[in-house]
Structure 1
Amino acid sequence: MWLFKSLRLTTNLTMSYLRSQKFAKTDWMKLISYWDAPKKLEYDLRAIEKRGIEDKKYYRTLLDLREQIGIIKRAGQYKKSDEIINAVIYMTYKESYELIREAIKSYAEGVYPSEKIIIVFSGEERDKENALNIANKIKDEFGRRFMDFIITIHPYGLPNEIPGKSSNATWAAKILQKYLDEKNIKYENVIISNFDADTVTHKNYFAELTYTYLKTLNRERQTYQPRHFYHNNIWSVPILIRLIVLGFTFCEMAEANDLKTYKAFSSRSMGMQLAIDTDFWDPMVIPEDSRQHWTAYFLKDGKYHVVLIESPIYMDAVSTSKYFDTFKEQYIQLRRWAYGACDLPFVVFNMLANKKIPLFMKIYQIAYLMESHLMWATAPIILTFTGWLPGMLNASFRTTVMAYKMPGVVSYLLTFAGIGVVVYAIITFTIIPRPRKHITWKYISLLFQWLFVPLASIFLSSIPALEAQMRLLFNKKLEYKVSPKVRK
């Protein structure tokens, strides 16, 4: 089973990587211009056919676009790009000016026109002075480049809230809703992006997002999920931390090949109407991303999907000014992520209550969710100690022929499964940014870092997940703690 899972993960990751490389070359603004002018699309298609088809992939893309325009028009859902507005819910708590500036700058300097973007900058009352100073400074530099730059402060201690990302995001989204109402802007024409403070977007992100939103049938029912690359400070964090964030990136890329179980995670985008329908983000829940995902899933009776956005967003790995504190904070972050297991009762109860979702899909979703959290907490430990456990638990087993041959068999299977590590190493070299100094040493470290996978996966993956699940079992609550992102 483990060999199969390893080979499946490696295959899916490779397919996902190749697909992302293909889409990285796409001119999204040109496709948007064709979407807005179907007659021009027809003219160019005839011109290509007349002079001979040289680029078959591009020709196929235009044919697919023409077909999709027809589908959307027949459904009565056709819109042009000038009707669409992007709004960014940008939350911050004690982050530095340099980190925030880099994020906001990326939204302003992408290929998509920034004058079609609204920024809702939301700080916390507990960090009010710092947040307002940074917000005003950023607004002075970039504010004129956006459609609007709204500054708000989320009050501390509101009823039925726990401090954290979800309560701040909900506060900011309601401020945006009020703004849209005052400006008479239709919710269906607004794409809302929920971004962490360290979220830097690829130059194509908003262009691809807008194009994908326009061409998606029942676009308001969907969430639009970008890839997460933790590259902003990848070279300044310890090797074990780098392994963890690369592992999450690769797992997310691999899981994107099965959109039936692919869940919205962290920074992502959606239609404003869907955000309103789900009452934004539950301010009493720590894993606000997965809870909103499941809320939307049941609200739409299972007819809700995550749409993949190939253009990545870049985020920070956990980092502090002190070496060992970084490991502590990484542990805390992963424990918080693993606390998403609290969704299981919510999912099971609503699956049983909803009569419109097919039985097979109910079983499939519940089983996948259970397996994901079970494997997260136990797989690294089981894989590391599989060859030793039978003898440790049963002394008489040590004298059998099976006991003699078992270490060799396990070693052979794990070595074969190690093909995946080679693939991970190759992809790592191609996706992470070039280091600014000590280039040779840092690239060598990329090869040798994989030797530490057992150590990282047990102490910075399995054990945090086990603690999170034990806390749920014994009803020991977990408080939301913002992960520090120190740039060095």
Structure 2
Amino acid sequence: MSCPDLEIPLGKRSKLYRFFEMLPALISYGMLILLVVLSVLSPFLAAIYLLLLVLTTFVKAIGISYRTLLGHRQLVRAEKIDWSARLDDLSQAAAGKSPEIKINKKDFEADVHQQTILSIEKGELQIIDPRDIYHAVLIAAYNESYEVLKPTVESVNNTTYPNERLIVYLAYEERGGEQMAETARRLRDEYAGVFCDYRIIQHPKDLPDEIPGKGPNITYAGYDLKQWCDNKKIEYNQVIVTTLDSDNRPYSTYFDYVAYKYAVTPNRERLSYQPVALYFGNIWDAPAPMRVLATGNSFWTIIGSMRPHALRNFAAHSQPLSALVSMDFWSKRSIVEDGHQYWRSYFYFKGDYSVMPIHVPVYQDAVLSDTFKATLISQFKQLRRWGYGASDIPYVAVRLFTRQRTAPFWETLARFIRLIDNHVSLATMSILVAFGAWVPLLTNPEASRNISAHALPLIVSHIQQVAVIGIFITILLMLKMLPPRPERYKRSRTVFMVLQWFLMPVTSICYSSAASMAAQTHLLLGKYLEKFDVTDKATLSSRAKTKAKKDALKKARRKSKL
């Protein structure tokens, strides 16, 4: 299959492309402005408009709560499975031997596994022998410290997948400086001989036709992986590539689980495999606003795992090397290379592509910088980068409404509408739910005489009170999923883990909504975000050093004044 042009444009865009770049911001700002206009012209229509939006959000919240509970249950069940043993069952069945399956029918997908073995034995299902499957793990780094990267590499080492079939890459940036290069070499020396191969690849800076970011970095490493496989005479379809950020720690059975699904799925090349991202790695150390956002983002990925039709690539994910080679790996022009990879794959395979949920986690860290102020800023930049996924809207639109279309129209249109809805809702609904009920009363003196407008704040308040049940569900699940409290913290820290949820309205508006609006505004004005803002990854030791420097500086200033 020849590779079509899958890249987003750099420089000047066509008029059609610019229109769809502006569209999400126009809709988001338009929804807010429309409430004000209706409040001035007709408080009754404003009340109807807001209630429709609030009730729609309320119905979605019910679905979110249900899927959160169901997704958590699936997560717990999948974590208990010995996926390595199931891979052995596949290998025996493929070799013509009848495996002795010791399985509880109540186990996760037990009936599916038994039926799979039966299909292999009957010759109805052709699989790849799991013993022939390699995992290539690309760890992307910029300037992270040894203390951040070492646990990530060690977590890969501690998985249950055989190390002789793990190929580990540390893909780091030349822009990260000599200290980063020294850290890479140190880790290479430590892990020499531990895996099938451990390679360090430095991505040169200022290469043509690419932006500074993760996508170009891991693509550069991908080229080396392709050459490595050629030299070793390993077929591309025998290799599954997993991308990890520098602070990612895959669950112990993650690679076995992915290999199992890859081996038994007929259209394996046209799938990617998406774990659940849990931002609990340093959750006890992060400030309260970041803990709220990290927990919310974690549950968002749990919910996504229960909606396979709407699931997209996000953060750490896996994809066959054969597919990556065919489509020239990842985008070198997008700062959201993970989500954008879904659309690249979707259009490359002409719509015959989907994302398979993997119901075990890849643990990640909440945003944490060396100072509280820097943490607040870094968190906003991270969410703005995620919100810049709205840049996929024009990318999809020109491949839907023009002769470039290669995927089925109606199916792609449904995905396109869902894409717009997700970005617009994230930018606007928190603001509308929080303040919308008061707009008619504040903008139109006649609104106080209108029964519907006058009662609107009370009605919305009642709906919000019912919706609080969803927050209670989130709190209970969070407390069950939290890692053990470090000894350096008192029990009172657990109490603050509950009280922090009073910050949710603030974080929803000042971070989730504001960051999304900022990203869409950049697209509206044509001020493109073409530089990857690397999220700070501080450690307790780096924070202590920063604090010591600040204290020493303050002390020196006091002495100079005497």
Q: Do these two structures clear the TM 0.5 threshold for a shared fold by scoring above it?
A: yes
The equivalences for 1:118-267 within 5 A come to: 118-267=167-316
Q: Distance in 2 between matches of 1:141 and 1:277?
A: 34
The equivalences for 1:366-445 within 5 A come to: 366-437=416-487, 438-445=489-496
Q: Residue type matched to 2:524 in 1? A: L
Q: Distance in 1 between matches of 2:417 and 2:427?
A: 16
Q: Distance in 1 between matches of 2:121 and 2:348?
A: 28
3-state DSSP of counterpart to 1:44 = coil
Cα contact 2:399–2:405 (8 A) shared by 1 = no
Deviations 1:92-134 (A, max 9, x none): 1110101110000010111111121011112211224223322
3-state DSSP of counterpart to 2:400 = helix
Q: Distance in 2 between matches of 1:407 and 1:126?
A: 52
3-state DSSP of counterpart to 1:89 = strand
**Residue number among 104, 109, 112 corresponding to 2:158 in the alignment:** 109
* 1:13 to 1:70, Cα distance in 2 relative to 1, 3 A: farther
Structure 1, 87-96 or 357-366: larger mean CA deviation: 357-366
Q: Distance in 2 between matches of 1:259 and 1:94?
A: 35
3-state DSSP of counterpart to 1:223 = strand
Shift of 1:219: 0.8
**Residue number among 291, 307, 325 corresponding to 1:276 in the alignment:** 325
Q: Residue type matched to 1:130 in 2? A: Q
The alignment status of 1:482 with 2:529, answered yes or no, reads no
Q: Residue type matched to 1:470 in 2? A: T
3-state DSSP of counterpart to 2:351 = coil
Cα contact 2:92–2:98 (8 A) shared by 1 = no
Deviations 1:348-396 (A, max 9, x none): 1112346664443122101100000001111111111122122123221
Per chain length, whose mean CA-contact separation is higher, i.e. which structure has more relative contact order (CA < 8 Å, sep 6+)? 2
Match of 1:469 in 2: 520
Q: Distance in 2 between matches of 1:165 and 1:305?
A: 23
3-state DSSP of counterpart to 1:227 = strand
Q: Distance in 1 between matches of 2:376 and 2:273?
A: 31
**Residue number among 49, 52, 58 corresponding to 1:3 in the alignment:** 58
Match of 2:395 in 1: 346
The alignment status of 1:451 with 2:495, answered yes or no, reads no
The alignment status of 1:44 with 2:100, answered yes or no, reads yes
Shift of 1:278: 1.8
Q: Distance in 2 between matches of 1:361 and 1:184?
A: 39
Match of 2:114 in 1: 63
Q: Residue type matched to 2:71 in 1? A: S
Shift of 1:65: 2.8
3-state DSSP of counterpart to 2:357 = strand
The alignment status of 1:325 with 2:374, answered yes or no, reads yes
Cα contact 1:170–1:281 (8 A) shared by 2 = yes
Match of 2:5 in 1: none
Q: Residue type matched to 1:469 in 2? A: Q
Match of 1:34 in 2: 89
* 1:13 to 1:41, Cα distance in 2 relative to 1, 3 A: farther
3-state DSSP of counterpart to 1:284 = coil
Shift of 1:303: 1.0
Q: Distance in 2 between matches of 1:93 and 1:120?
A: 14
Q: Distance in 2 between matches of 1:299 and 1:481?
A: 28
Q: Residue type matched to 2:493 in 1? A: K
Match of 2:73 in 1: 18
CA RMSD of superposed structures (Å): 1.9
Aligned length: 480
**TM-score in terms of structure 2 length:** 0.82
Q: Distance in 2 between matches of 1:56 and 1:461?
A: 39
3-state DSSP of counterpart to 1:144 = coil
**TM-score in terms of structure 1 length:** 0.94
| Structure 2: runs of 5+ lacking an equivalent | 1-55, 541-562
Q: Distance in 2 between matches of 1:43 and 1:127?
A: 50
Q: Residue type matched to 1:44 in 2? A: E
Q: Distance in 1 between matches of 2:252 and 2:490?
A: 26
Deviations 1:124-183 (A, max 9, x none): 112242233222222222221100011121111111111110111111100111111111
Q: Residue type matched to 1:5 in 2? A: K
Cα contact 2:136–2:240 (8 A) shared by 1 = yes
Cα contact 2:447–2:454 (8 A) shared by 1 = no
Answer with 1 or 2: which has the greater Rg. 2
Structure 1, 348-357 or 88-97: larger mean CA deviation: 348-357
* 1:392 to 1:302, Cα distance in 2 relative to 1, 3 A: same
Structure 1, 244-253 or 97-106: larger mean CA deviation: 244-253
Q: Residue type matched to 2:251 in 1? A: H
3-state DSSP of counterpart to 2:538 = coil
Q: Residue type matched to 1:25 in 2? A: K
Deviations 1:372-425 (A, max 9, x none): 000111111111112212212322111222234322221111111111101100
**Residue number among 337, 362, 375 corresponding to 1:288 in the alignment:** 337
Shift of 1:88: 0.9
Deviations 1:36-88 (A, max 9, x none): 0017874535xx7xxxx9755476254233255369x546x421111111101
Q: Residue type matched to 2:115 in 1? A: D
Q: Distance in 1 between matches of 2:191 and 2:449?
A: 73
Q: Residue type matched to 1:487 in 2? A: T
3-state DSSP of counterpart to 1:37 = helix
Q: Distance in 2 between matches of 1:97 and 1:43?
A: 44
Q: Residue type matched to 1:3 in 2? A: F
Structure 1, 62-71 or 13-22: larger mean CA deviation: 62-71
Q: Distance in 1 between matches of 2:187 and 2:406?
A: 48
Q: Distance in 2 between matches of 1:198 and 1:355?
A: 38
* 1:411 to 1:34, Cα distance in 2 relative to 1, 3 A: same
Shift of 1:441: 1.3
Q: Residue type matched to 2:100 in 1? A: D
Q: Residue type matched to 2:89 in 1? A: Y
Q: Distance in 1 between matches of 2:397 and 2:118?
A: 39
